[in-house]
Amino acid sequence: MWANNKITGLLLVLLLAFLTQQGWATQITVSKNGSISSIKEGVDRAEPGDTLIIKEGRYEEHSITVDKQMTILGEGNVQIDGNRQGFVIIIRADDVTLKNVEVMHASTSFMEDYAGILVKETDGAVIENVTLTDNYFGIYLAKSSNALIKNNHITASMKRETQSGNAIHLWYSKDIRIEDNYMKGHRDGLYFEFVDGATIKGNLSEENIRYGIHFMYSDNCRYEDNTFRDNGGGVAVMYTSNVEIINNRFEDNWGSSAYGLLLKEINRSKIVGNEFYNNSVGLYIEATSRNEIRHNTFHQNGWAVKLMANSTDNMFTENNFIANSFEVATNSMKNYNEFNNNYWSHYEGYDLDRDGIGDVPHRPVRLFSILVEKQPQSLLLLRSLLIDILDAAERIMPVLTPETLVDSQPKMTKVS
Amino acid sequence: MKAMTILKYQWKDLFRGKWIIGYGLIYLLMADAMIRFGGTGTKAMLSISNIMLLLIPLVGMIYGALYLYQSREFTELLLAQPLDRPTLFWGLFGGLAAPLALAYTAGIGIPMLYTGMILTANLQSIFVILVLGNVLTLLFTGLGFWLGLKFFNDRIKGLGFALVSWLFLAVIYDGLVLLAIFLLGDYPIEEPMLGMAMLNPIDLARITVLLEFDISALMGYTGAVFNRFFGSMLGITVASGCLALWLGIPLWRGKSLFNEKDF
């Protein structure tokens, strides 16, 4: 009886709390032919905690500043056009939610980073199902935390790096989740600087002018199930420790300085289960140490891995190298990294004891890759009989290729 | 029409010799092994194209010359018939080149069919390998014919030239290119290099293979000339144009030699 009373009491309190909440949170409707016809006015009239509903229509407004906690929802096809006059929406309060609108035409500038949506010094912002079209920067987060950026469609159509900002730009932010977004035609698809603990999952970033994703000084982030395709320079990540890059796809990045994934000074990180397909260089590694590179598949790249000699103690295990023009290239006779248990489709050894491990070690660095490193024009002789003969001779008696860069236990079949 | 009749007789003669069947079987076994061990993907096709680049020029050239020597009596017999010389030439050439091309096509194609590779693999790549192999067969058989006719009475010389030409085109030429690159690498030598590659039919075929399978690596090179050449239809157009020249000139030379020859 006593317990029952307690539960009833608790329910009563909860109900009261719910009612009062309802009582406080009013709903304000903005529509083209209603009493409130501008979003700015709607935001001004709202009290903290209110919900602003925007009805279908085209609103030509810019610098809409959201300075209190509120929820903004679009109904139908809502277009907010900044007409290239600065920022379009500026969020400066905690716990603001923005959903189902289209934001377009933030202005382009050399002085100011104008963005479709600027989120500045806030906590807990939610930006979901927003379409951003032809903005300079798409979504710009500065000094914010715990934000969720989900399911947005961000495109731009400028041709030059200076005319275009980044689709999602994070600066000094913490614990951000970025999920299932689509980014196309910006300078960088995703750009992080001084970000900590972000999760980036299920995004597709393609045909951006510079990089699909570009981050620096952003420790403890996790990148999972993203696809980066046909970006001008591929993907470049730098000066960061402890990142997890898992199950992503890097494909179709072609060009003399295009990399599936470029690592520069990345330490103590995991690169696991990714697929590198049809890039000029799959994975470029420079001044990068103590990383685990495992279970990746390198398929039909020009160079599967370019490993610069200032990288040390990286572990390459159980990767698949399939039909790449070059498997591993390096710029030195020395090697301080370890290759073990990978599958190499160029492997020519045998497995007499049938344990699935080749009996002869595999040397993934061809003599020819060193020739090409010295004289790039000689690339034209790829697949020549002469080159095959030279490679075979070098494989038997390594003179110019690093002697320690060797997989002593190459797998005979693909790692699944 | 008469050329077709000669072709038919030669066809029978070649199959009676069993040699051509063995030649087809080599391709069949190799293609089968490649697909069996390398899977039905790009890797098998790359291996097949490597074999193609190695074997077809060698066999085409040697056998082109050898066949003329072997069938000397047959040729002389035919010359006694009311046939004009060009008909006879095309009959003889077609009678050798067509079965060789067919042996290659069947040898490569049949394993692709019964392993189901044709369904899964990139059809364009298969097409490139098949067409290139056939063009190379015609081209090098023609070259062999020309050499055979040029040294018709001196067989050792003819065969020797065929072998040395193959060695030169397949290995030494590329060595010279490599040497040129390392000697003159500081100068903009991309255009002359492309020109040099065009002068060698094996290199031409090899570059066509590169355009199909290694384009991602080629696009990684900084030289604008390369990128422009490889990144467009221009590359394929120029390469096939040069191959056509390489096919035409030896045949034309061979035919005029054959027309004037006093057997």
Candidates B216, B228, B230, B238, partner chain A, best to mutate (most A CBs within 10 A): B216
Chains A and B form CB pairs within 8 A to the count of: 107
Cα angle for residues A86, A90, A92 (degrees, 5° grid): 145
Give the tens place of pLDDT for each residue, A149-166: 999 999 998 888 778 999
Chain A closest-CA separation from residue B174 CA (Å): 7
Looking at residue A17, its pLDDT comes to 54
Distance from first CA to last CA of chain A, Å, rounded?
A: 61
Residues in chain A: 416
Which of B117, B148, B150 has its CA nearest to residue B260? B150
Looking at residue A286, its pLDDT comes to 95
Q: In this complex, is the C-beta atom of A413 within 8 Å of any C-beta atom belonging to chain B?
A: no
Domain that holds residue B87: 2-260
> Residues of A with CB below 8 A from B219's CB?
254-256, 258, 280, 302
Chain B closest-CA separation from residue A286 CA (Å): 18
Looking at residue B86, its pLDDT comes to 87
Give the tens place of pLDDT for each residue, A8-27: 665 655 555 555 555 457 89
Which chain A residue shows the shortest CA-CA distance from B173? Answer: A386
Q: How many CA atoms lie within 13 Å of A71's alpha carbon, on the beta-carbon side?
A: 12
Q: Is the pLDDT of residue B231 over 70?
A: no
Residue in the block written with tokens 């050329």: B3
Q: What is the pTM of this model?
A: 0.87
Amino acid at A67: D
Residue B209's pLDDT band, with cuts at 50, 70 and 90, is confident
Residue spans of alpha helices (H) in A25-89? 39-45
Residues of chain A with pLDDT under 70: 1-24
Q: Is the pLDDT of residue B234 over 90?
A: no
Of B43, B206, B221, the CB nearest to A322: B43
> Residues of B with CB below 8 A from A367's CB?
none
Residue B228's pLDDT band, with cuts at 50, 70 and 90, is confident
Chain B residues touching chain A at CB-CB below 8 Å: 38, 41-43, 46, 50, 53-54, 170-172, 174-175, 177-178, 181-182, 185, 189-190, 193-194, 197, 203, 206-207, 209-210, 213-223, 226-227
Rounded Cα distance, A300 and A253, in Å: 12
Give the tens place of pLDDT for each residue, A277-318: 999 999 999 999 999 999 999 999 999 999 999 999 999 999
Residue in the block written with tokens 């002389």: B76
How many domains does one find in chain B?
1
CA A159 remoteness from chain centre: 21
Give the tens place of pLDDT for each residue, B135-178: 999 999 999 999 999 898 888 999 999 999 999 999 999 999 99
Looking at residue A182, its pLDDT comes to 97
Share of chain B above pLDDT 70, in %: 97
Looking at residue B1, its pLDDT comes to 65
Looking at residue A54, its pLDDT comes to 95
Residue in the block written with tokens 């912002």: A125
Looking at residue A399, its pLDDT comes to 86
- Map out the domains of chain A with their CATH numbers: 25-342 (2.160.20.10)
Looking at residue B75, its pLDDT comes to 85
Share of chain A above pLDDT 70, in %: 94
Judge: B206–A384 Cβ closer than 8 Å, yes or no.
yes
Share of chain B above pLDDT 90, in %: 38
Of B50, B171, B216, the CB nearest to A386: B171
Residue spans of alpha helices (H) in chain B? 2-16, 19-38, 42-70, 72-79, 85-114, 117-120, 123-150, 155-167, 173-184, 190-198, 201-213, 215-218, 224-230, 233-260
Chain A closest-CA separation from residue B68 CA (Å): 28
Of B174, B209, B218, the CB nearest to A379: B218
Answer yes or no: are the C-beta atoms of A192 and A219 closer than 8 Å. no
Rounded Cα distance, A399 and B1, in Å: 61
Amino acid at B98: A
Q: Is the pLDDT of residue B131 over 60?
A: yes
Q: In this complex, is the C-beta atom of A385 within 8 Å of any C-beta atom belonging to chain B?
A: yes
Judge: A386–B175 Cβ closer than 8 Å, yes or no.
yes
Looking at residue B222, its pLDDT comes to 66
